[in-house]
């Protein structure tokens, strides 16, 4: 069973990388400029280790508590990404393991990350989550809130904003999600033009298993892939 799964995870990763390359080539982009984050939520450490063995260097988790247990058991040089919603009371714990927080979505959370980072005498890298789909069920700033948020964020010296993140609407046809990704790219360009201190629009984190190719065509340089690597959740 283990050897079969190893082949499966390794094969899936290669398939995803091939699809990333094809999408990038279609729009004249360098496939190597796109970072692949393997979303390992609900997956056992054994599968995560198989992914690392197959070349994965970035792992994404949704929940601080689940990630804490896994982080303790994987003593390898991989980058950890928090892609799920972060509550302020979990910030201290999150800072102990995550290299990049994708889900900065309020000034209250920004202030807490800054405070805790200051106590640790460090700077924390984050992405600002933007709700580009307009769905009430999703977290994230509204697009029109981004400029004032960025203005306010420059006061917090222990947080580095490194880009933007969005989650596309889950629909059968990924082409329907294209406007959400195009909107995030335009927001990035607007923020870039302002040249805020402590803000660097390095990453556009958008695209998951069902829509990452469209996201890449619209400018994503970080994609978050779970089921296409590890299989569907049962």
pLDDT tens-digit readout, 175-207: 999 999 999 999 999 999 999 988 999 999 999
Question: CB-side exposure of 13: number of CA atoms within 13 Å?
Answer: 24
pLDDT tens-digit readout, 35-80: 999 999 999 999 999 999 999 999 999 999 999 999 999 999 999 9
159 touches 112 (CB < 8 A)? no
What mean pLDDT is predicted for residues 93-103? 97
Per-residue pLDDT band for 232 (boundaries 50, 70, 90) equals confident
Q: Which two tokens stand for residue 175?
A: 């082409």
What's the CA gap between 7 and 5, in Å, rounded?
A: 5
88 touches 111 (CB < 8 A)? no
**What does the pLDDT read at residue 234?**
53
Q: In the block, which residue shows the tokens 């829509």? A: 211
pTM greater than 0.75: yes
Within 10 angstroms of residue 11's Cβ, the number of other Cβ atoms is 12
Distance set, CA 160 to CA 104, 197, 226 (Å): 11, 9, 26
């Amino acid at each position: 069973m283990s050897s079969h799964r190893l082949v499966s995870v390794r094969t899936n990763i290669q398939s995803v990388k091939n699809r990333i390359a094809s999408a990038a080539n279609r729009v004249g982009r360098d496939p190597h400029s796109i970072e692949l984050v393997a979303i390992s939520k609900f997956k056992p450490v054994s599968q995560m280790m198989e992914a690392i063995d197959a070349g994965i260097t970035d792992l994404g988790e949704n929940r601080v508590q689940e990630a804490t247990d896994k982080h303790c058991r994987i003593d390898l040089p991989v980058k950890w990404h928090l892609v799920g919603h972060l509550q302020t009371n979990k910030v201290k714990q999150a800072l102990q393991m995550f290299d990049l927080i994708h889900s900065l979505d309020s000034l209250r959370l920004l202030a807490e990350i800054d405070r805790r980072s200051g106590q640790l005498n460090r700077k924390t890298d984050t992405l600002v989550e933007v709700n580009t789909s307009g769905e009430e069920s999703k977290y994230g700033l509204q697009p029109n809130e981004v400029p004032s948020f960025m203005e306010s964020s420059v006061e917090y010296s222990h947080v580095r904003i490194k880009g933007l993140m969005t989650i596309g609407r889950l629909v059968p046809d990924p082409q329907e999600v294209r406007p959400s990704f195009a909107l995030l790219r335009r927001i990035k360009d607007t923020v870039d033009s302002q040249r805020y201190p402590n803000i660097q629009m390095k990453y556009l984190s958008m695209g998951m298993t069902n829509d990452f190719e469209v996201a890449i065509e619209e400018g994503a340089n970080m994609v978050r892939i779970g089921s296409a690597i590890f299989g569907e959740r049962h």
